[in-house]
Amino acid sequence: MEPPNPHSEACVSDLCDRALAVLRAHGQRMTPARRAVIGVLAATTDHLDAEQVGARVLELAPSVHRATVYRTLETLSEVGVVTHVHTGRGATAYHLAADVTGWRHLHAQCRVCERMIDLPDDLLDGVAARLAAAGFTLEPHHVALSGVCQHCRGCGQARH
């Protein structure tokens, strides 16, 4: 399945409606801060850190305090509206969860330019099966694999 196209207002509205449904299913309501954070994440395919989310929320809803953005990201993560990805060198990145977008995927991050790359969800299925046979359950959705992207490799920027 392809990622949603955040560039259409209809898509952003649809994602916000789905997020509201997930919130309600968990007994939560849509607050102005939650609406702003969800709107920011629905309008991009980028993986934003909390500071970036906060800056964009400030543009949309100047009354929402930065600390509220952090608490909102935490709450939205707990109920499955937002998911987070731990990166090797940077801050935790956030994006709308698969329960909202319908698109589950893995992540890789270039260690040179720090660009985040979305990967097919089934990419590590073979590795997961081998680990399961050894008694270990792989949970790869909250961490980014580290490597060097094609652009940086082509520019000769890939150093050890």
Homologous superfamily of 105-154 in CATH?
Answer: Ferric-uptake regulator, C-terminal dimerisarion domain (3.30.1490.190)
Q: Where in the chain is the domain with CATH 3.30.1490.190?
A: 105-154
- Give the Cα separation of 59 and 142 in Å (integer): 28
- pLDDT surpasses 80 at 7: no
Q: Where in the chain is the domain with CATH 1.10.10.10?
A: 9-97
* Domain 9-97 -> CATH class: mainly alpha
Lowest mean pLDDT among 55-64, 84-93, 118-127: 84-93
Mean pLDDT throughout 85-97?
Answer: 88
- pLDDT surpasses 90 at 89: no
**pLDDT of 30:** 93
Mind listing the pLDDT tens digit for each residue in 8-18?
Answer: 677 888 999 99
> 77 or 160: whose pLDDT is higher?
77
